Amino acid sequence: MADDSDQEKNLRLMARWRQTGRVLVEALPYILKYDQKTIVVKYGGNAMTGGGTDDFSQDIVLMKQTGIDPVVVHGGGPQIDAMLKKLDIHSRFIDGLRVTDEAAVEVVEMVLTGSINKHIVTAINAAGGRAVGLSGKDGNMVVARKLALTRTDSVTGKTTVEDLGFVGEPASVNPEVLYTMMKSEIIPVIAPIGVGPKGETYNINADTVAGAVAGAVKAERLVLLTDVEGVLDKDKKLIPHLTVAEARDLIANGTISGGMIPKIRTAIEAVEAGVRAAVILDGRIPHVLLLELFTEHGAGTLITAG
């Protein structure tokens, strides 16, 4: 009986080895495809709440070890909400953008460049990488301007400009500091804080920063990790691939709505700025980055020029 048990154990072990071999063979052409290419990954605050930071960090380190240059841009909306509530600082949103006064922007910067940034950096380093945290202020990497939000009343047709306080958008991205880091095997982890022309601190949407950085470094791919599986059609089924024109049509007809609209617009702008493709993925899925990059099937919704 012992011999039968040992034989069964060996057969199971060999089956696992064969499966591992098949995975490596399938991954090889994709590893070669992305060799020496830059991939910008936006790691959303909502994706972090799924508890998958260890899987994410392992994926980033493996990407670096296979010859990819990953650049991480992170958000932190839920964590900022929690800290503002703890400090009894009221916060409101207009069209999905946080109105950020002087008190709030100090908290936003503290949470993003402090606890969240260092948590991600520590996790990547623990997984065997060499990550360094920075914000858009460092090296004047993200020079920002105040975001002007215009709204049109659907009844009166009157247009108003909303003051969002210290909310900005990238005016320019200077990627020299990123190039220096990537050449030295460092993985940059960027908090979405920009600097104004007079040294002002601006809170910038993390998707927007990721798209602007991807465009500036002409990334092979922009990956937006979030807490949904991708773009869904009207029957709530995943759409695996969209062209820029198709994505615009889906926004116009209401299929793409709510919080997905700014993500798709970011993807469109990045592709039009020279990024080869953008993809929206569910960051709660274990090792979803590897599934997207190194398998035939991919995951999420891919947006390309045509």
pLDDT in tens, 255-276: 888 778 888 999 999 999 999 9
pLDDT digits (tens, 9 = 90+) for 139-175: 999 999 999 887 777 677 788 788 888 999 999 999 9
Distance CA 31, CA 34 (A): 5
Q: What is the pLDDT of residue 13?
A: 67
Confidence grade of residue 126 (pLDDT, cut at 50, 70, 90) = very high
Q: Which residues contact 188 (CB under 8 A, 6 or more apart)?
A: 71, 72, 131, 132, 134, 177, 178, 181, 182
Q: What is the pLDDT of residue 153?
A: 72
Distance CA 228, CA 257 (A): 13
Q: What is the pLDDT of residue 152?
A: 74
Q: What is the pLDDT of residue 297?
A: 65
Distance CA 193, CA 143 (A): 9
pTM listed for this prediction:
0.85
Please, what CATH class does the domain formed by 36-304 belong to?
A: alpha beta
* Letter string b/e over residues 150-176, b meaning 16 or more CB atoms within 10 A of that residue's CB: eeeeeeeeeeeeeebbbbbbbeebebe
Domain ranges of the chain: 36-304
Q: What is the pLDDT of residue 206?
A: 93
Q: At what angle do helices 206-216 and 260-272 cross, to 10 degrees?
A: 10
How distant is the alpha carbon of residue 20 from its chain centre? 29
Query: How much is the average pLDDT of 277-306?
Result: 84
Count of positions (residues) in the chain: 306
Identify the burial level of 69 via C-beta atoms within 10 angstroms of its C-beta, where 0-12 means exposed, 13-18 middle and 19 or more buried: buried
Q: What is the pLDDT of residue 208?
A: 93
pLDDT digits (tens, 9 = 90+) for 3-50: 666 677 776 766 666 665 565 667 676 677 778 899 999 998 666 665
Q: What is the pLDDT of residue 71?
A: 96
Helices (H), 34-112: 45-48, 53-65, 77-86, 102-110
Matching residue, tokens 């790691």: 43
User: Is 260 in contact with 300 (CB distance < 8 Å)?
Assistant: no
Distance CA 266, CA 255 (A): 17
Q: What is the pLDDT of residue 293?
A: 83
Q: Residue 129: how many CB atoms within 10 A of its CB? A: 22
User: What are the φ/ψ torsions at residue 183 (nearest 5 degrees)?
Assistant: -65, -25
Distance CA 195, CA 211 (A): 17
Return the higher-pLDDT residue of 98 and 4: 98
Distance CA 60, CA 182 (A): 13
Tell me the average pLDDT of the chain.
86
- Radius of gyration of the chain from its Cα atoms, rounded to whole angstroms: 21
Distance CA 262, CA 271 (A): 14
